[in-house]
Amino acid sequence: MKEYRFEGNFYYYVRLIKRLYENTLLEAAQKVGLSLPEADVLCFLRENPEFDTARDVALYRDVSRAYVSKAVELLAEKDYLVIRQDKNDRRLQHLEITNKATQAAETLHKAQFEFYDTVTMNLSQDEITEMLRLIGKCAMNLEENSN
């Protein structure tokens, strides 16, 4: 039988990571005049252009559709997003970051890397690579068992 011993409380650490990420992103969002949900959607679309629907954002970021819908609406009003109807399925709308949003998206992206640097501050590149590999393996286990 495997033994699991964490130095501290695992769930507490997960919460700390989430809180640090949100605070880092919120600070950057405020610099570019966006709310946290707007920044969240913009970051997701920048990092994952293949997942370009509001449904994708809600699913992969594990947030409500209302959270995404409101953010998309506000980003579109600011001309930061273009919403395009799917050619084959009229129910689907694809989201695309505009050139006007490029600078804001880059600022948010840099904030994400500041977050990563903070979390991995005392790790070597080899340790970071191994950590990411292991997290990837754990994620595959979670996907297989989430059905």
The predicted-structure confidence for 59-97, as pLDDT tens digits, reads as follows 999 899 999 999 999 999 999 999 999 888 888 899 999
Domains and CATH numbers, the chain: 10-145 (1.10.10.10)
Dist CA 17 CA 23 (whole Å): 10
pTM of the model: 0.83
Mean pLDDT over all residues of the chain?
Answer: 92
Q: Coil, helix or strand for 136? A: helix
**Quick check: 110 and 28 in contact, CB under 8 A?**
yes
